Each structure stands twice: as structure tokens, then as C-alpha cells.
Structure 1
Amino acid sequence: MTPSVTERPGAGGKPPRATDAPCARGAAVPAATPAARCGDPFVTEPTEYDAVLLLGFGGPEGPDDVMPFLRNVTAGRGIPDERLAAVAEHYHHFGGVSPINDQNRELREALEAELARTGPALPVLWGNRNFAPYLTDALHEAHEAGHRRLLALATSAYSSYSSCRQYREDLADALAATGLGSELEIDKIRSFFDHPGFVEPFVEAVQGAVTELAGRGRRNIRVLFATHSIPSGDAERSGAPGRDLGPGGAYEAQHLAVGKVIMGRVSAPEGVAVDATLVYQSRSGPPSQPWLEPDINDEIAEIAQGAADRPDAVVIAPIGFVSDHLEVLWDLDNEAMETAAQHGLDAIRVATPGTHPAFVAGLADLVRERVEARPAQRRAALTGLGPDIDVCRPGCCANARRPFSPALAGIAP
């Protein structure tokens, strides 16, 4: 008999922050499988997992969910409801429903089918950071199904606090809240920003947009590679410590490298000039706090005020995102496309990977990579920054505004 929610410790909500994530005797990584416990950057011992755990951000599925969801997202930051209400309007514009949950349902189904087809035939579970189904629910579901060894896959491709370490902290929080720390082992798939499965859908989409704009008579096209802005301090600390990748850290360097690969594979028709810029969107911090720039709307306005040979069209490519969730729909399809129209620029916003067959196949390859303990030199990576490591280093992706919280899939700081 399956326990009710009230009989499942920590179920049905976002768990409190964990105060500890103990390691097994002789281990350096909390809750890790034997292959990852020692803390080596790349695992070298094959591992049989029981299930894949898809880690989502979460989102409201109706108007009544919007404010509780936003309170979860901003928990501990002291943001009043009046400020959250302004953001809530973006969700209410779409009926109070974020597309992200349906997208994760589709991705879960597609990945499970791909793994059944190509192996290993693992079930795919799904848990969110900020709304139902919560990570605590997913861990209970795994445990009740007899799964004890999980491989977590975050729906975020890059290295930063919010796109990697915070997911690892959430895993520690959920494990502590459920009381399953002695029952479950959880590893996490590496950041996959330059895996071909993630990059190739963007190459295809950008090429299609350039070709379409050229067919409309556009002769000077600017590709705007868009990603979520983050605080400059978090960017500087992104990735493993001790690697000098510039003021934007691993987060900015990884995006620049991916953009370079895409542009190297996109061909322009004769007589058409195409170049690219990395831009940012969706900043949410106070004006006094530096965030990564330029903002996409500012960049579009700057483009429009250029010389006689200024671009006459833009391709907006959201390379920072794996799916068309609300920030893509609102900040790009609504605001950025409107800004382009106001400045007389033809514009196309290309799709994110979503459930593109290459992306789903790439995620399955990442699962096999860990199951096989594939050597680093045989792992798929399209830039010199990859493949990223399996086990995060101490101090990896530090958050400048708060002390370290316990986290899984990395050596405890």
C-alpha cells in the first residue's frame, strides 16, 4: 500500500534548507554511489542505476498556484508580495499556467522511450525545485518503487549557482526532509552545455532562421544568443575554482563557446552578412546589484541606432534554455520581439531543444556515459571547455550572497 502524503516525511512541499549532508565512512561526496564517493572529477567505475531523476524548476498550473509558486522561488529573500504581484502578471497573461511542467512531462516520456530503445532501459522520475511534483515527492516515489540508486539530470545546461549548485543543494534538502539519506544514493549528470545533443538543435534552428530572413531580402543579420542574466558575483564564481575564464567565469565562457560553435556551422547565403552577440534577459535583482549585460532589449535598441550598414534583421536564439518556458515566452516572444518591431528590425525567435530528437538522444547518451564510466577523452563535447566534470569541486559555483549549504554530487566545501 502506498503511504499517503501525510505519512511521507517532507512530502507535498518545498523542504527547508538542510543543515548537514553526511558522507559515508571514507567518502568525500555525500550520498554518492561508490563510483563517485572518492571525489575524483570523472568517475572511472561503471554504475548500475535504478532510475533517472529529472530535476525541474517547477511552475504554476493554474491562477491559484501563481503566488505560492513565486513565494517558493524567492523563499528566504524577503521579497514582499507587492513585488511578486508584478511578476505574477506575466503568468496570468498565460492563464496562470507555466508551460514548463507540460514540457517536462513530454521530456520525461521522450527520454524514457529513448532509453527503452537504446538502453539502459531505466524509468525516468520527475521532481521540481519550486512546485509540485516536488523533489521530496519524487524521492519517496523512487524509494517506494524499490529504487535505491538514482542518476539526477537537471534541466539546465550550464555552470552557475542557479543552474547547477542550487539543484545540488535542493537534492540535499529533499534527502534530509524525507529522511531517506541512509536509503538512497544520488549522482548527478554533468553540465551538458557543449554536448552535441544540446547544440545541434540550435544550429539547425539558427540556420533555418538565417535562410528564411535572407529569403525575405534581409542582407545584414545579427544573431542574438540569449540567456538568463545572473549577478556578476555569481558569474565570477561559476565553475570550479582556480580556472581563469574571465570576469564572467564559466557561465559566460560556456555560452560564448557554444555561440562560437553554432556560428561556425551556420552558413550565410551569398551576399548576406551574419554576425552574433551574447545578450542577457530576465534580470531580477535590485538596480544597485551588478548583473551580466547587455540586456537584449538594450542591445536591440543599440543595433537600430547604428550606421547605414546596421543590421536589418535579428535572430533571437535562447541558448541558455532547454525549453520554451515562461521567461522565453514573455521576455523574448513578448518584450524582445516587440522591441525589434518598434525599431524596424525583422526578427525571428528560434526554438529551444525541447524534445528535439537530437536533444533526447543526447540526454540518453549522457546517461550511458555515467553508467559506462566513459573515459573523459571519449565523451561528446564540442568546445575546449568540455566535457565538464562529474563531481563538483569544493567551492564550485559559490553564491556570493549566502554561505554554502549542503549539496550532493560534489565534494563538501
Structure 2
Amino acid sequence: IKAMAPPARASAAEGAAASPPASDAYQAFLPDHWDIRLGTVQVRGIDIHNLHLSGSRTGQRWRSQVSSSLLDGQLEYEQEAKGPGTIRARLSQLRVGQDGADSKPGASHDDAPEQEPGQLPALDVVVDDLRWRQHSVGRLEVQAVNQRQSDSSWWQLKNMVLSNDAASLQASGDWGAKRSSAGGRRTELEMRLDLKDTGALLARLGMAGVVRQGKGAVQGRIGWTGSPVSPDYNSMDGKLHVDVGQGQFLKVEPGAAKLLGVLNLQALPRRLTLDFKDVFSAGFGFDFVRGDVLVSDGVASTTNLQMKGVTAAVLLEGRANLRNETQDLHVVVIPELNTTTMALVTTAINPVIGIGTFLAQALFKGPLTQAVTQEFEVSGSWSEPEVKRLNRRQEADPNAIGTPH
């Protein structure tokens, strides 16, 4: 490391008259150039191997070329007189969540001191290839700034785009503008996920063979207490709208895709002897999957999720616990579709009254017989769902169907 030497001191009087300000004196000791090689360095519990940093400083701007087990590319940091400054990065690769960057026991992100939003620098980051657990998930662009007003500050995510040939995720929001009831700073995000090929996206995330095709969008808002990089299921809330069409849930073990296992209805005929086994045994092919999902304290619930296929329609309401990976669902399956039932499932269900009441009031007043429709209660874990077939209720009691037990 090469550094400038401070000016030689003369007499005390001359020194008092000619000494630069403290900040200038500090600048005199900063390096002009550097070339650093480290076998392993640990940052907040993450091991970074084979780190090589080389660069230079001009005034308040630091530029460096970096290569390591975690990232490769160019970094630039611009200091500010007040505030944490700005980081600009143009990276060919960024690898997160991989074996080569494991967290040490007892030194995880959860154990590290929580930064205040005002301590985070502004970001202007482009990553050509973001890799998550060895899977290439696409190109990442992030622009974020610090906002200050009176005695408060927050970190604003102006725009984030993660895109690949299968999907594009766009999000914006902030961290610290709102606080939880307990006083913690919250992350609040508005997001939209445009899906060109749902199956290809899941394959990129290491879940190949779960869904075939599937085009549509998931959009809404989501928030939690804590930083953007540490989602907390216990405090998570929000609302999402799902609308995906022309795809198929493939025949896989229910736990293979975690939450998607809730929707893969092959678990129904696999555990029960049903009259419509052929409908789901090879995976449920759907014309659309759509509905609204409300998240509160880490529990996702829906009253109007609909799936329509060529030979069957499925209506679903209930809850899924995101942290415990459990479920409590009421599923209605209509394996024979005619004009009346097709019109029913292509019409948005009122999310207030719920599927059970809607069916009692609308479906069973039509020509569809009660013998055709089947109802189930799905509970237990996502990996080992417990399926119970429910007896059909009497049409005279429209409120009896209700919500899941």
C-alpha cells in the first residue's frame, strides 16, 4: 500500500498557522494505490475465499477491481462529507447462498448487529449473472438512496430488476420509513413478477420438473420487520394477486417445491381412492391459476384461489404457515365441467364470502349434481400433507360448508 507522507512540521507557531484542517490531515494518510491478496476473509459470518483487490483513490473516490469466491468485477465508492456515501458496482458475477461462502455457526446474519437505514450507502449496482446456491437466476439491477427528513432517515429502494429468459421481477420500496408496533424498522416493498415460463424459472431455482410452462404475473405488496436482506416470516404481511395460465403441475413429491406442493393436487388421489384419479395422477394441467393471497404475521391465507383445467376445476380456501410450513385448507374439486360450471370458475369469486358459501349459494342451484363435486380438508406439513375427504353437506344449509376446520 502506497501512502502520501504528511508535511514536515516546522516550529510550533508555523505549525499552528500552516497546519491543514483535521480532515485534510486525515486524507494525507489514505492510500493512493493498493494491491491486496487474502486467502480467506470473513464478513458478517460469511467466508470469502481467494480475495484479490487492486485499485486506486482520487480524492474522495475509491476504485477497485475485485475477484473472489463471492464476486467478480469493478467496485467504486465515493465518500461524502455527511452520510455513508455511494457504492457503484459493475459485476460479472455475484454468488450468494453457496457452499463457498458459508456462514460460521453462531455468526449468522441474524446474530449480526442490525444496521440503521441511515448507515447504508446509496447503491448503483448491476450484476450480469446473479447466482443463488449455484443456480444462475439472472441479471440484477439495483438503485437505492438514503432519504433524510428532520431527525429521521430511511433507505429507499428506487428500483430493483431481476430478469432472465423465464421471468422478470421488479420491486421498489423502503426500509425504515415505517415502524412496527414494537418499534422495529420495517421493510415495505411493492413488487411485480412477470412470468414467461414458470417451469423454466423454477428450474433456475433448483426445482426442475415441478411445473411445465405457465405464463402470467404475481403482483402486490409485502413487508416485514427488519432489513431487506433478512426477511422475517413472523412479522411478514402483505397482499398478492396471482394470475398464471397455460401450465401443468407435474408429478413430484409434495415437499419438492415447498409451498407449490400445496397446489399440486396429486396428493389427493395418491392418498385416497377417488373417482377422478386420472385427472391428477400425472399432474394437474391448468388453463389458469388465479386468486388473492393475504399474508399476516407469516400466515398466507386465501378465500378465492381458483384453478381451471380441461377436465376439472378446483376452488381453494384456507391458510399456509410460511415459517412452520404447515397448511389448513379446504379444497373443492369439480371433475366434470359443463357450460355452467366453466362459467362459474371463470368468474371471480367474491373474496369476502368465501368459496364454501359461494358454492352453496350459486353452484348447487344449477344443474350440476352434488355427487360430482368432492370436498377435502388438507392439513399437516407441506412435505407430508394429511388429506381427509369431507362428506357433502345438505343444500338446505348454505353456511355449513364454510371455512376449513
Q: Which has the larger radius of gyration?
A: 2
TM-score for the superposition, normalised by structure 1: 0.25
Higher helix share: 1
Tell me: higher relative CO, structure 1 or 2? Use CA pairs within 8 A at least 6 residues apart: 1
Higher strand share: 2
TM-score for the superposition, normalised by structure 2: 0.25
